[in-house]
Amino acid sequence: MTADRPTPDAIRRARAENPKMRERDLAGQLGISEAEFVAAWVGEGTRRIRADVDAFLTGMEALGEVMALTRNESAVHEKIGVYDKVVLGEHAAMALGEQIDLRIFPKVWAHGYAVSKTDEDGTVRRSLQFFNASGEAVHKVHLRAASNVEAYEKLVATLIHAEQEQTLRVVAPVTSIAPAVNPSVDVEELRARWSSMTDVHQFMSILRDLKLTRQQAVHLVGEEYAWPVDHDSVAAMMRISANEEIPIMCFVGNRGCIQIHSGPVKEIKPMGPWINVLDETFHLHLRLDHIREVWAVRKPASEGHVTSLEAYDAAGQLIIQFFGKRKEGAFERDDWRGLVENLPRGPRSTAA
């Protein structure tokens, strides 16, 4: 341990003194990453496991119903379901189930832990928790009453790490600072390539080729394809979608994982700075006060165009993204398109 890092004993004492504080918040208060916090319990209900995405995904379906959780600084996305329809890949892997729908980037996954905790009433809560090299959580799985504990233990045994220490060496986190737009960007080329898209997935190659962030691209492309809307538009869209029963797609991600909900939302509950979806198989917790810009974005596709609503934080990072639910190759829903196009317009910022 370095001098500025608390010892595992000190971490556990801090937990005992703050039993109701969320672990992530307490780790931040202690000046350590969440992964270092979790590591302090290795040998006391926690086991270190390898962050092997292929082995993880291959073994997950046997666990049956679980809760999948993916988050970033401003949004937490929770889905209850089964990990199925798995596609493995060195650069990107997927779970394409009806409930649990994930895009995983294996090279970002660095550390993992299998965590067991016993509540005061004797209930054992089990989870798998994966982190990046900085110790930031990329994805978690929480077992439920119907989950197969035997399959969980078999998977943990498959993934068990050779080192079972209560300390963890992490690297400094990547600082998110909104980059300035490259003055040499050819805006006409951006618009030409944007207008020529036949599939929304082509968008990422445009960003890579032109060395643009997503936020910079929506600032530059022009109002035919992207326009700012009022900051309250995300909450308004969620309420309208629930009231009018418009099924949506909701994407929340970090550098290592993107998690998607496809379907209706029903119970929309504000609480302080948060707006929450509290449905049977989908929970979303979104910090509205972290939103600095909201954009309506229109991308051409072979089936007409596809409309999204995108919220960005102060560093220009995408917090959350929404689409109308549609099947691949299908036209966009008119009710979703009308909802987004009628949201109140916001001022066009000159920053990007």
Q: Are residues 225 and 118 in the same domain?
A: no
pLDDT computed for residue 156 by the predictor: 98
- Note the helical H segments in the chain: 8-17, 23-30, 34-39, 53-60, 149-159, 187-195, 203-210, 214-220, 233-243, 334-341
Rounded CA-CA distance 336/324 in Å is 5
Do 201 and 321 lie in one domain? The reply is yes
Position 348 scores a pLDDT of: 66
CA atoms within 13 A on the CB side of 100: 27
Tally of CA atoms within 13 A in the half-sphere of 14 that contains its CB: 22
Whole-model pTM: value is 0.94
Which structural domain range is residue 143 located in? 8-84+109-159
pLDDT tens for 252-295 read 999 999 999 999 999 999 999 999 999 999 999 999 999 999 99
CA dihedral sign of residues 29, 30, 32, 38: negative
Convert the pLDDT of each residue in 162-202 to its tens digit.
999 999 999 998 776 666 666 678 999 999 999 999 988 89
Q: Report how far residue 114's alpha carbon sits from residue 101's, in angstroms, rounded to the nearest whole number.
A: 22
Task: Tell whether 99 is covered by a domain.
Answer: no
Residue 205 maps to which CATH number?
A: 3.40.1570.10
Domains in the chain: how many in total? Answer: 2
pLDDT score recorded for residue 1:
45
Residue 182 lies in a domain: no
58 and 204 assigned to the same domain:
no
Residue 201: inside a domain, yes or no?
Answer: yes
Statement to judge: residues 128 and 212 lie in one domain: no
Residue 24 and residue 62 share a domain:
yes
